[in-house]
Amino acid sequence: MSFTPVLTFSVDLVLEQEGEDIILGINGERINLTQVGDKVRVAGPVDKRTCERCIPWIGKVFDADDPQIQMFREGGVHPHCRHYLVPVGVPGLDRKYKNTGTDIVKDLVRRKSVKRLQDIYGLQKGRMLAEGEILVDDIYRQDGTVKRLDELDEAKAKALEIQE
């Protein structure tokens, strides 16, 4: 099997031992690997190329051996997925990836970023979110998959019944 890199990065990587501690240096930041726990976080970019299937996973923390995250060990949620697992307990990574995908979307809704919401969810779902017709939590089923428009219309109707 051959492998063709899509992106290449220049990274200064150093692995050393200090007493019983194993230290990983990444671009000048030192991480004590012996202090990293057995939890991982789903990380990666949230931008106009982030799809609706990835949003609910971003920022969530799991046990490292949790079967739910096996797909990230095998390449991601879908082909060309840009999301990956990072260890929890690494100061720089914990700060960088603390927000979940749904937190980020809720912020877009709060700021009424219609275009960005439509980039992620499509024209109708994005508009419904931006106009407050549905909530971010309404978009996803229990298993993290995205609801169809007819399912969202049902959620919208129920929300209107509650308001009346």
Provide the domain limits for residue 118.
101-163
49 and 26 in a common domain: yes
Of 74, 96, 118, the position where a domain reaches its end is 96
What pTM value is reported for the model? 0.55
Of 96, 120, 148, the position where a domain reaches its end is 96
What DSSP line would sit under 102-150, residue for residue?
Answer: HHHHHHHHHTT-HHHHHHHH-HHHHHHHHTTSS-HHHHB-TTSPBPPHH
109 and 91 in a common domain: no
139 and 68 in a common domain: no
Given the DSSP bridges, would you call strands 21-26 and 13-18 parallel, antiparallel or unpaired? antiparallel
46 and 17 in a common domain: yes
157 and 121 in a common domain: yes
91 and 22 in a common domain: yes
Q: What is the pLDDT of residue 33?
A: 64
Q: What is the pLDDT of residue 37?
A: 63
- Give Cβ neighbours of residue 65 (< 8 Å, ≥ 6 apart): 38
Of 96, 116, 145, the position where a domain reaches its end is 96
154 and 91 in a common domain: no
112 and 42 in a common domain: no
One digit per residue, pLDDT tens: the chain, 164 residues? 555 555 555 656 677 777 777 676 766 666 666 655 688 888 877 777 788 788 888 888 888 888 888 888 787 788 888 888 877 776 666 666 666 777 777 777 777 788 888 888 888 888 888 888 888 778 887 777 778 888 888 877 776 666 56
Identify the sign of the CA torsion 71, 73, 78, 81: positive
- For the chain, give the number of residues: 164
110 and 85 in a common domain: no
Structural domain count, the chain: 2
